[in-house]
Amino acid sequence: MRARKGEWFSLVWDILDYYDPDSFCQHKAAPRFIYASEDSVQIESNLLNKYDRLRLVSIFITTVFVTEGHGVKVPTHYRIGEFMPGEKPTYDKWLAEYHNMTHEITEQIHYKEALQQQKVFLEHTAKIIRHDMHSGINTYLPRGLKGLLKNIPEKAISEYKIEGYIKMLEEGLRYTQKVYWGVHAFTNLLKEDVELKKEIKDLKIVLESYLANTAYKSKVTIENLVCLPVQETLFCIAMENLIKGGLQFNEKKDRWVKIFMESPNILCVQDNGIGLSKEQFMLFCKPYIRIENAKPKGLELNIAVAILEHHGFGVQPEKLEEGTIFRINLDVNRQHTLTMGD
């Protein structure tokens, strides 16, 4: 809940598990009032982490004070030790109506609960994709296609003119497997405290292989890069998103993207598009940000930056006279980084 410096809040807690003795201990110890010593976007965030066996039901923005016997003003209309916020609904209502006390159900709490439920749905979807679809995409379909090609005579393929259909099946299967492994890699990021499983790869080779079947491969030039530990699929998705942005937001007839090493630890993705400033980069990194007269770009850029940051890499854009250059700092892995030819 947003708070301005100097505001007081009264809290109402609920016990999540009535069979857990620790829940009652936390409920007894949980503060009923908090003070905003500075402006805050979410004043209750630290309390939610600390009192994990409780649910913060609501927050009272306190505007009425009483003076205790020692002369200090206390931000409450309740008598400590007698009753607390939420224990006497009629009294709460009276305060709200006659003492300008605003009662709000904290939006952030409900938002967090909704996000948690969405995460459950995503994890269930991930299990379906990872387990139920794996066999079909990576076992049955490849074996079936291989068996057909092995048993159909070449003469029959030529006679019935089905070479093109077979090629479509092969390319479609490769594309489906590529998408599957991309989804597989993304679902790993749903896990708590995830650590990417990285292997040392030649970045030039993996990028060329990943882009081999794309319609824009001829517009991308990849110079000799480095070998370093990455999660291959996710890294390629991040780079592809930067490439597609450079080609999509480009008014030139001859569009291009170049990937090269500026230094042993700086990987660059440069395009000759409309250009992206640092300010625009910060804005468009947010998901679903729309650019005028264009499709949503924010999601792809957001995903690219998030993946690179998961690897420990930093990303900095620079708007050029013609286009943009993204500098990806690989310094976090400098102890593993090998230049080609070493």
Task: Residue 329: name the closest of 263, 232, 236 by CA.
Answer: 263
**Which 3 state secondary structure label does DSSP give 127?**
helix
**Helix %, strand %, coil % for the chain, to 5?**
45, 20, 35
**Sole residue written with tokens 């405290």:** 193
Work out the number of other CB atoms within 10 angstroms of the CB of residue 14: 12
pLDDT at res. 178: 87
Task: Residue 237: name the closest of 285, 291, 307 by CA.
Answer: 307
Work out the number of other CB atoms within 10 angstroms of the CB of residue 331: 14
Q: Which DSSP state fits 77?
A: S
Task: Residue 106: name the closest of 192, 47, 28, 22 by CA.
Answer: 47
- How do the pLDDT tens digits run along the chain, 342 residues long? 777 777 777 788 888 877 788 888 888 888 877 777 788 877 777 787 788 888 888 777 765 555 545 555 555 555 544 555 566 777 666 655 544 434 343 454 556 666 667 777 777 777 777 777 888 898 999 999 999 999 999 899 989 999 999 999 999 998 898 888 888 888 777 666 667 788 999 999 999 999 988 889 999 999 999 999 999 999 999 999 999 989 988 888 899 999 999 999 999 999 999 988 888 888 777 665 555 544 444 568 888 988 898 888 999 999 998 999 999 999 854 444 433 334
pLDDT at res. 112: 61
Cβ neighbours of residue 227 closer than 8 Å, sequence gap 6 or more: 200, 201, 202, 203, 337, 338, 339, 340
Contact 257, 220 (CB under 8 A): yes
The letter for the amino acid at 176 is T
pLDDT at res. 272: 94
pLDDT at res. 338: 39
- Please tell me the distance from the alpha carbon of residue 258 to that of residue 1, in angstroms, as a whole number: 45
**Which 3 state secondary structure label does DSSP give 174?**
helix
- Please tell me the distance from the alpha carbon of residue 113 to that of residue 40, in angstroms, as a whole number: 21
Overall size of the chain counted in residues = 342
- Please tell me the distance from the alpha carbon of residue 12 to that of residue 58, in angstroms, as a whole number: 5
Cβ neighbours of residue 269 closer than 8 Å, sequence gap 6 or more: 239, 242, 243, 246, 257, 258, 259, 325, 326, 328
- Please tell me the distance from the alpha carbon of residue 116 to that of residue 124, in angstroms, as a whole number: 13
* pTM of full prediction above 0.85: no
Question: What phi and psi, each to the nearest 5 degrees, are found at residue 57?
Answer: -75, -45
Tokens (6 digits) for 166: 């077979």
The letter for the amino acid at 252 is K
Question: What phi and psi, each to the nearest 5 degrees, are found at residue 269?
Answer: -120, 110
Q: 260, exposed or middle or buried, with CB in 10 Å at 0-12, 13-18, 19+?
A: middle
Tokens (6 digits) for 152: 């159909």
Work out the number of other CB atoms within 10 angstroms of the CB of residue 174: 13
